[in-house]
Structure 1
Amino acid sequence: MANTEDKAPSKENKSSWKDSIYNPRTGELMGRTASSWALILLFYLVFYCFLAGLFALTMWVLLFTLDDYVPKYRDRVPYPGLVIRPNSLDISFNKSDPLKYAQYVQHLEKFLERYNDSAQEKNENCISGEFYLQDGPISMVRRACPFRRALLSFCSGLSDTNYGYQEGKPCVILKMNRIIGLKPDGEPYINCTVKKDHPIQMYYSPNNGQIDKMFFPYYGKKAHENYLQPLVAVKLLITKEDYNKELTVECRIDGSNLRNNDERDKFLGRVTFRVKVVE
């Protein structure tokens, strides 16, 4: 009698566990009949189709309000940032080992390929010191002023293919971010300083770091397809007494109304990077 009573609950529990998945008496699967499953699947199908349609409609309305040539809202970025090439804020190398500075040289060479004469000859000469205004409809294709890499002098990579890294006097190239319609007041130029007790001499090109007004305004990526930002090259004339030291260099856009002192944005009108030359 005891054995029979022990086996009965076990068989009943096993049957109950199977019934929770599929009950052959009622035809329920996971607690629902076939018609119940069909109704709930139909509900979610309609629900998600509605959400997809609503999303598509929202995107269509949004894209319909956008302009392919000029962004609708441009008030959040009124002033340009400043960036450097090679694309590193920590430039460290051994001037006696070409492998240590090869990445910087290769990056500069690749970056300046777009400024070769063969790529710039399709642009037209402009009047230096004057804004290159091109009136017309928004969709009109704008012409661009040429900026040839030869203007960068010793940092052009034409006379010195190592950009000064082999002699421990590295070149860095700076450019401003593009801002549509920007026309800076004054005479903007790049000025760099080294945060240390005694200054380090620097060689700027072209025109002592000045940014010519003829490269402004910029009309947008689609309308101004051939446009390239003007560049300023800075050659750091580092001496032996500063070898094996980490030098902090800050470059700013000065001489104009472009902001360069916003503590909330360290790259607005300025950029700070480190240079270390190992002998």
Structure 2
Amino acid sequence: MASTEDKPANKENTSSWKDSFYNPRTGEVLGRTASSWALILLFYLVFYCFLAGMFALTMWVLLLTLDDYVPRYRDRVPFPGMSFLQQYNDTLQEMNMQDCVTGQYFVQDEAEEKKVCSFKRGLLKACSGLSDTNFGYSDGQPCVLLKLNRIIGLLPRGDPYINCTVKKDTPVQMAYYPEMGRIDKKYFPYYGKKAHENYVQPLVAVKLLLGKEDMNKEHSVECRVEGTDLKNNDERDKWLGRVSFKVKVME
């Protein structure tokens, strides 16, 4: 049981604790008077303004050394390389690849040698290059081929498809190949270049059915991946899940 002698001591400790925040006798807040707080805030304001000015000055000097058209430092390889792209061949597609179950992921986690699902260009129909080797450009109705970047282990949920829009008052008709611009899930997941050596990325062809009223005009087209959990509206990365391009057909 506490004695009466302990009560004044407890009261004194409580008063001392409160005074550390605000002392009514001296007018101090957290051990400083109003003028002291004003001086220290002014010091930090000037100090950080000085640091910001130094940073802006150094950035300005650095940007003066850069050219808008030519990089200051080049790659160590001064001469261009060359590469060879083998011509598409339906027979090789059938020999090296297999027909997979449509609409299902082709999971091969346990298999040492990863098999590849075939993607025949006949799926692109009018944009396959079989019936029209100019891909619609000679007729003023061009085909644009789109694909997703390869990401190891990606399993997109839902039924991903490509949807394109033209930024104009009147809509432009489009045709998608494969139908509805769908990207079949059987091409996922991808296991990397070494394990999945002959992997073929699925394509989606978009044919712009431009009319006479659309000729001689520049059209801004934006295509997005829809119907899945893949992001396509990140303002910090305008290429995430979407792509933009411009088309102008001359008569």
Query: Please, what TM-score do these two structures have when normalized by structure 2?
Result: 0.64
Q: What is the aligned partner in structure 1 of residue 103 from structure 2?
A: 129
Please list, as runs of the form range in 1=range in 2, the aligned pairs for 1:1-279 lying within 5 A after superposition.
Answer: 113-114=87-88, 116-121=89-94, 122-136=96-110, 140-279=112-251
- Report % sequence identity: 63
| Aligned CA distance change for structure 1 residues 196 and 164 (closer, same or farther; 3 Å) | same
| Aligned CA distance change for structure 1 residues 158 and 112 (closer, same or farther; 3 Å) | farther
1:154 and 1:226 mapped to 2: Cα distance? 26
Q: Which moved more, 1:117-126 or 1:219-228?
A: 117-126
**Structure 1 unaligned regions, length at least 5:** 1-109
Over the residues paired in the alignment, what is the CA RMSD in angstroms?
1.5
1:254 and 1:191 mapped to 2: Cα distance? 7
The number of residue pairs the alignment matches comes to 167
Shift of 1:207: 2.1
**Structure 2 unaligned regions, length at least 5:** 1-83
The runs of 4+ residues in structure 1 deviating greater than 4 Å are: none
1:150 and 1:245 mapped to 2: Cα distance? 31
Query: Please, what TM-score do these two structures have when normalized by structure 1?
Result: 0.58
User: Higher RCO, 1 or 2 (CA under 8 Å, sep at least 6)?
Assistant: 1
> Which whole-Å deviations, capped at 9, do the CAs of 1:72-121 have from their partners, x for residues lacking one?
xxxxxxxxxxxxxxxxxxxxxxxxxxxxxxxxxxxxxx98944x313311
1:147 and 1:267 mapped to 2: Cα distance? 25
Shift of 1:141: 1.9
Q: Which structure features the higher share of strand residues?
A: 1
2:101 and 2:169 mapped to 1: Cα distance? 41
| Aligned CA distance change for structure 1 residues 240 and 154 (closer, same or farther; 3 Å) | same
